[in-house]
Amino acid sequence: MRNALLVAVLASLLGCDQGASLERISGPTMGSSYTVQYVRTPQGPAPEQVKREVEAVLEGIDKHFSTYRGDSQIETFNRLPANSCQRMSADVLELVRVGEQLSQESAGAFDLTVEPLLDLWGFGPQSRLEKVPDAQALARARLRVGHGHLRIAGEQLCKDAPVAVDFNSIAAGYAVDVLVERLKALGIADLLVDVTGELKAVGRKPDGHGWKVALELPRDDRQIVQQMVVVDGFGVSTSGDYRNYFEENGQRYSHTFDARLGRPVKHNLAAVTVFDRSTLMADGYSTLLLILGPEQGWDFALQHGIAAVFVTRVADGFASRSTPAFAQVVE
């Protein structure tokens, strides 16, 4: 499970207006956890109702997208042989289309069908051991990878090879967006939603201050805040290689894969944080940029106007730079 570099930071509450208070609910989801913080007003829903609504949404998403439960829609599809089709819910097809877009934009580097590679290297749901695979095993796994093997036919998802789809690079961001819209429908206007580290903030806290997000340096041993950013109306996602990795013969192998090569990326880009109105797209683009690396990723972000912060390993620690679009978000 990918770990983000983001921490929602709340200042002390000062002078709540008209009975407004800050509520917080949390729980497990997607192999990690979720947190919802929102401003409750006297006319708003009770925390118990909010928690029920949130967990119902997350349970529905888990049943559709989880690769860790055999009864999910996507795992049922993944077990099908080549030249098979399966009727899918609209949200699954929506994310397949997003995956296709990201695959095309990255010339195949980003790919939702890398699960066989993740399993082979020890990072996937069917993994047994973290290790560098032999050439023959790698060649066999690569035959089962490629977004081009998928197609949508009406309400069905079809495949012409025994591919397995893994939505872990975008599902959490999608979940955040769905939760934000559900909470708004309940009459909650000011909130911060975090699902496995992907988050979105809207409005303000009861004291009138904005929601603050801390960007961290990618350290394995402790959290070090690099920059504080006030967020309103943006989704935020960080992808990094600093926690989910293994080492063999002095070489570091992360869980971030370039589908074109069939192996973990090899470059000095440690983490990328992306801000976007859509948390789904922030989630996808943070992964895409991390795959492309410090040079290609930077050029891609500039070309597409992506608000991003790049943290690169250098000889004496880390170096950070942000795109012009990020400067506009901060302003």
- pLDDT tens string 49-58: 999 999 999 9
Smallest CA-to-CA distance from 237 within 308, 183, 327 is with: 308
Mean pLDDT for the stretch of residues 67-75: 93
Mean pLDDT for the stretch of residues 67-84: 95
Smallest CA-to-CA distance from 121 within 238, 244, 288, 283 is with: 244
What is the pLDDT, as a whole number, of residue 116?
85
- 194 in any annotated domain: no
What is the pLDDT, as a whole number, of residue 255?
66
Instruction: Compute the distance between CA of residue 227 and CA of residue 104 in angstroms, rounded to an integer.
Output: 33
| Residue range 265-289, pLDDT digits in tens | 888 898 999 999 999 999 999 999 9
Give the confidence band of 13 by pLDDT, cuts at 50, 70, 90: very low
- At 138, which CATH number? 1.10.3980.10
Smallest CA-to-CA distance from 59 within 182, 189, 227 is with: 182
What pTM was estimated for this model as a whole? 0.88
- 94 in any annotated domain: yes
> Which two tokens mark 182?
């559900």
What is the pLDDT, as a whole number, of residue 249?
53
Give the confidence band of 142 by pLDDT, cuts at 50, 70, 90: confident
Size of the chain in residues: 331
- 201 in any annotated domain: no
Q: What percent of the chain has pLDDT over 70?
A: 85
Return the residue matching tokens 């979105």: 200
| Type of residue at 243 | R
pLDDT above 50 (res 14): no
Instruction: Compute the distance between CA of residue 316 and CA of residue 331 in angstroms, rounded to an integer.
Output: 30
What is the pLDDT, as a whole number, of residue 59?
97
A 10 A CB-CB count for 167 gives: 22
Instruction: Compute the distance between CA of residue 164 and CA of residue 238 in angstroms, rounded to an integer.
Output: 24
- Bridge partners for 106 per DSSP: none
pLDDT above 60 (res 10): no
- 125 in any annotated domain: yes
Query: How many folded domains does the chain comprise?
Result: 1
What is the pLDDT, as a whole number, of residue 135?
84
What is the pLDDT, as a whole number, of residue 257?
81
Look at residue 103 and give its three-state secondary structure.
helix
> Which two tokens mark 48?
């118990």
- 155 in any annotated domain: yes
- The residue segments making up the domain with residue 86 are 65-159
- Report yes or no: 133 and 65 within 8 Å, Cβ to Cβ: no
Smallest CA-to-CA distance from 5 within 201, 242, 193, 202 is with: 242
Query: What are phi and psi for residue 188, nearest 5 degrees?
Result: -95, 120
| Residue range 156-213, pLDDT digits in tens | 999 999 999 999 999 999 999 999 999 999 999 999 999 999 999 999 999 999 999 9
- 98 in any annotated domain: yes
* Most confident of the following: 113-122, 208-217, 292-301: 292-301
pLDDT above 70 (res 17): no
What is the pLDDT, as a whole number, of residue 6?
46
- 196 in any annotated domain: no
pLDDT above 60 (res 226): yes
Please count the CA atoms within 13 angstroms of the CA of 329 that sit on its side-chain side. 25
What is the pLDDT, as a whole number, of residue 242?
56
Instruction: Compute the distance between CA of residue 2 and CA of residue 5 in angstroms, rounded to an integer.
Output: 10
- 105 in any annotated domain: yes
pLDDT above 60 (res 80): yes
